[in-house]
A and B are shown apart, each in its own frame.
Chain A
Amino acid sequence: MTLDSAVWSLLHEALRLYQDSPRASNWLRHHISRFDSPLRIAVAGRPGVGKSTVVNAVIGDEVAPIVVDGGQVFTWYQDGPQPHATVYMPNGPAGDPPVARVGHRMDIDLSSYASSQISRIVVDWPARVLRDTTLIDTPPIAGEISEQIAAEADALLYLTPQVHVMDVRFLQSIQDHPVARAAPVNALLVLSRADETGGGRIDALPTAKQIARRHRQDARVRGLCQNVVAVSGLLGQVGRTLTDSEYQDLTALAVAPETQELLLSADRFTRSPHSVSAGVRRELADRLGLSGIRLATALIRQGAGTPAELGKELVQRSGLNELRDSIRRLFVDRREVLKARSALLGLDVVLRMEPRPGAGQLVTDVERVLAGAHEFHELRLLAGLLSGRTRLPDELDGEAQRLIGGYGTDLEARLGFDRTPTEPEIRTAIYDALGRWREQSESPLLGSAERDAARVVIRSCEAMLTPS
């Protein structure tokens, strides 16, 4: 039985057991319906770390932040045919504020609402990335928010420009739960505002990526997240929403000889005389930041000839692709595992809040599922391989990723067939892999972490042998 079907039956079993308790059964029904909905990824962090910018960069449009009278509320971005927003309030009916799309931007009129009375805003927005994920833009971290994030999101993008003690504490608090501790597979640490690293030099982003690599190895961070990615949300957002006129202004700046002097400081850039008007420059500075302008003009001088090319370069350098890749491979592709994890968390809440005699078996079952869930180990190993935390020899690395489901979790993808294989072929392939990895698990050439990895691969192979 796979993890998700096991959890699915546990949920229904619990629903049957708790059918006389309206609170518990409502909660369980909520979790059952959530089991089938798209993956919920929360974007969290301290104030000013660039949460909304990263949301925009990932979605590809400027939809965040939604500010209600100076404060921010939980904002859900989900897929929808038309731009639309629903405002949920704890007391009172759901509101329906006017929403319009202007180019890449979303216009929303929330002037008739107060932030204190809104529990959350759900925005429907047509975007490809939202088809299988729901992004949640969260208010800056404060006491209760971490609990709400832990309860509502399946996965977490935690943003911080510098890894601060507070960040580590927050990530620990999110995982301070027996189920969460058993499966710490749902967080990505994002080093945001990467364009400002090292005083906004032109090589800020490669430097930031190096720092991210260093953090992946850091014992204090390693256990708390699946991967560490450096991202400049600003550049990613601009790269994906660059307009022609912006490109032309940037080109004008790039070719003008006096621009170098101007790029010394933000004040000079926005105030000194230049052929490009000060208003335009100010707008550009707001949109790209000084380091972004430095990078963009340099890229244009190096030959980014069209807005699309420049956009692509910017996105490429912003680290957004790595982030999206990590989201896809660690979160979206493993949707069932993360959903199962959330459901187990929800189930655990019911079992703890309303213990009853018949629930003993259920508690044992939850523990059994948790302890036996090979999927969590696979995901942990995959993250280790992707982030370079666990290093296997090159030829083994790719195969390990494939076998533990890094390229797709169905049998063909795991075994690397590009056509439908026959039954004997499959068996041969599996036995082949099994033998090879058994050897590796006892190889004296590998370290203990690598041998552990090999054992996880072996279990994946064995799982493939048992018909599900």
Chain B
Amino acid sequence: MTVATWLEVLDETIGASVRHHRPDLAERLRAKRAQLLDPQLRVLVIGEANQGKSQLVNALVAAPVCAVGDDVTTLAPTIVRYAEKPSAARLLHDGTEAAPQRQAIPVDQATGRGGDPVTTEVRLPRKLLAAGLVLIDTPAIGNLHQLRAQNTFAALSGADAVLLASDATQELSPTELELLAQVRRLCPTIVLVLTKIDLAPRWRNVAERNREHLARAGVQVAVVPVSSALRLRAAQSDDTALNAESGFPELIERLRTDVLATASAPVARHNFATMTGTAIAELVGQLNKELAVRSDGTDSPAVAELRDIQQRMADLRRRSARWQTLLADEMADMMADLDYDLRDRTRKILREVDKAFDEADPARTWEQFEGWLADSLTEAAETNFSWLVERAWWIADKVSEIFPERQEVVPPSLIPADADMEPNDPEMPKLDKFSPGQRIFTGLRGSYGGVLMFGLITSLAGLPLINPISLGAGAVLGGKSIGEEGESRLKRRQAAAKSAAQRHVDDFFLRFSKDCKDASRRIQRGLRDHFTAVAEEIQQELADEAAAAQRAAQVEATRRERRNQELRQALAKLTALHGQIQGVAGALPAASKNPLGITA
């Protein structure tokens, strides 16, 4: 494999990231590209507070370059790299994106800057660093200064290797294990450095337990126990035995084999493969998701619309059955109600008539009565009819509620505003009046009996048949007969008037109720025609919409198919790219048989 190949693969991945709208990935990969082209190897020393990170860096280069303290000390990173002559500088960012300003300071003052949150760079002539190794001491993760920890995380993606410092007096804490898992995603070359073993009599147990913890978490990380204090002391007194005891020779050896060995062949850096692999996996995941959504199909708007229209059509069918029943039921109800109402009203009128003619003499009051009857009947008919109109409108409204999409009014012509409510004049009954001749005759007939009766009685007393008494009695009886006859004639007249009125009212009722029923049926027919037309219109509209939606869905399906094709092609390309990476990077972990999870 030539160098050009990995560069090509990387460039192609960057291209793919841009194509698939992931500028963030592209940015990360570009940074990686720049870093890979840089021959330096960045080793980040991270860990929680007071785990001896700074002291570890000091011990590695055997010089006090990082500030060491008892509480949280390191506030900003210290970068240690190679130079022929020792030098130190503070890197000041002025807030702009430009490269930081360098402010040279004496080497022995580098540690004095521990309190300032300013990045310090120290250059030292060490064999370890000569191969391009750059050690970076970072602020603690998880202490109260979260912001600094975030900076550390940001720096992680640019790291070639990570030394995670953990105190040998305690096992790895859950937070440290979590940190490890996070770090592993960004930078897979990790060495767990167990610091301060000079302090912990049982560091071997702790190391063993830590290895168990790591195995349980599924993290393959070497555990290297060291003692920075011993190493620094050994460096002071040039004591090789003590140096060996400090564990640092092993750590440096590990840095050489695990980290430095990759320096000459950037493609061999797992980090490159992991990072590019992660980027591709992310892209593939994105495409897969898109594919999954697409093949699912439910989310497509055109299909959703079509489905919606179909739903609405079924709904409409259900509704048309409903409105017809509703109309028929309501109309039948209305007719029954109106009929009853009219009957009730006429009955009331008849009762009035009866009452009136119990008293009054139709011969005298007929004219007046005729007028009253006509008025009453007209009023009853008007009320009844206006009720019909009202009720018909109400029914029309109720039925039109079933079609909420059509709020147009029912045409007013469907329901007549008035009807022929003029009752004819009632037939004048035959009223036999008591004429004066009849009166005289009746009076004479009555008085005759009286005169005779009393004349005979008084004749016994010797009076003549015609005497004042018998004449008086005749006059009384004659008057009585006239009265009785008048009474019975009045009764007859009243009966005749009543029956005439009854006939008239019945006639009117018959005629008017027929009119009403006709009107109701006309209204019913009118409404039925109207709403049938409305339903048909709606159905037609829906059918048109459905056809349009179907067409749209078809168009979309074609487009989706085309996009799917594109996506599959893109996926195939990415898979090929991933294969190339594997080829370039050599053997990736065997466990990842199908690391991308490509199913499409």
Contact = CB atoms under 8 A, between A and B. Distances in A.
Given A47-B171, A264-B233, A267-B245, A200 B144 contact: no
Given A214-B71, A264-B230, A199 B173 contact: no
Given A198-B69, A199-B52, A199-B55, A166 B142 contact: yes
Interface string A138-177: 0000000000000000000000011111101000000000
B49 to A, nearest CB: 5
A207 interface: yes
B196 A199 contact: yes
B20 interface: no
B385 interface: no
A225 to B, nearest CB: 14
A266 B173 contact: no
Nearest to B227: A265
Contact of B199 (A168, A196, A211, A282): A196
A286 interface: yes
Residue from the set B143, B170, B227, B229 with the largest chain A CB neighbour count within 10 Å: B170
A218 interface: yes
Contacts of B203: 266
Contact of B201 (A46, A163, A282): A282
Residue from the set A165, A199, A270 with the largest chain B CB neighbour count within 10 Å: A199
B93 interface: no
B359 interface: no
A197 interface: yes
A267 B197 contact: yes
Interface in B159-205: 167, 169-171, 173-175, 196-203
Contacts of A48: 170-171, 173
A267 B246 CA distance: 10
Contact of A290 (B144, B173, B201, B230): B201
B176 to A, nearest CB: 10
Residue from the set B72, B142, B173, B198 with the largest chain A CB neighbour count within 10 Å: B198
B143 A163 contact: yes
A285 B49 contact: no
Contacts of A265: 197-198, 227, 229-230, 245
A164 B48 contact: yes
B171 A165 contact: no
Interface in A301-335: none
B49 A164 contact: yes
A198 B73 CA distance: 11
Interface residues of A, number: 38
A207 B70 contact: yes
B146 interface: yes
B199 to A, nearest CB: 5
B447 interface: no
Interface in B60-89: 69-72
B50 interface: yes
A198 B70 contact: yes
A162 B143 contact: yes
B231 to A, nearest CB: 11
Contact of A197 (B70, B175, B201): B70
Contacts of B199: 196, 199-200, 266, 289-291
A289 B201 CA distance: 7
Nearest to A214: B71
Contacts of A291: 199
Residue from the set B50, B72, B146 with the largest chain A CB neighbour count within 10 Å: B50
Contacts of B50: 161-162, 197
B245 A46 contact: no
A208 B143 contact: no
A220 interface: yes
Given A47-B173, A164-B142, A166-B142, A208 B70 contact: yes
A169 B373 CA distance: 96
A268 interface: yes
B227 to A, nearest CB: 6
A193 interface: yes
Nearest to A163: B144
Contact of A286 (B173, B202, B233): B202
B143 A164 contact: yes
A214 B203 CA distance: 31
Nearest to A142: B174
B9 to A, nearest CB: 40
A207 B70 CA distance: 7
B574 to A, nearest CB: 38
Residue from the set A162, A210, A285, A291 with the largest chain B CB neighbour count within 10 Å: A162
A269 interface: yes
Contacts of B242: 264
Interface in A210-230: 210-211, 214, 218, 220-221
Interface string B233-246: 10000000010010
A166 B201 contact: no
B144 A218 contact: yes
B145 to A, nearest CB: 9
Contact of B70 (A166, A211, A267, A268): A211
B357 to A, nearest CB: 71
A69 B80 CA distance: 48
A222 B199 CA distance: 31
Contacts of A270: 201
Given A199-B196, A266-B198, A268-B245, A46 B70 contact: no
A139 to B, nearest CB: 13
A208 to B, nearest CB: 7
Interface in B28-49: 48-49
Nearest to B167: A196
A442 to B, nearest CB: 37
B235 to A, nearest CB: 14
B201 A168 contact: no
B233 A266 contact: no
Contacts of B55: 199
Contacts of B229: 199, 264-265
Nearest to B72: A162
A29 B173 CA distance: 40
Contacts of B146: 165
Residue from the set B69, B144, B171, B175 with the largest chain A CB neighbour count within 10 Å: B144
A381 to B, nearest CB: 25
A282 B204 CA distance: 13
B201 A285 contact: yes
A430 to B, nearest CB: 43
Nearest to A50: B170
Nearest to A47: B173
Residue from the set A197, A200, A218 with the largest chain B CB neighbour count within 10 Å: A200
A193 B71 contact: no
Given A197-B70, A214-B71, A266 B48 contact: no
A290 B69 contact: no
Nearest to B175: A166
B264 to A, nearest CB: 37
Nearest to B203: A266
A220 B147 CA distance: 14
A273 to B, nearest CB: 15
B46 to A, nearest CB: 15
Nearest to A203: B70
Nearest to A267: B245
Interface of B: 48-50, 52, 55, 69-72, 142-144, 146, 167, 169-171, 173-175, 196-203, 227, 229-230, 233, 242, 245
8 contacts: A48-B170, A161-B50, A161-B170, A196-B169, A199-B55, A266-B197, A267-B198, A285-B201
Given A198-B70, A208-B70, A268-B245, 6 more contacts: A47-B173, A164-B142, A165-B144, A196-B199, A264-B229, A266-B199
What are the 4 tightest A-B residue pairs by CB atom distance, in nearest-first order? A265-B198, A285-B201, A198-B70, A266-B201
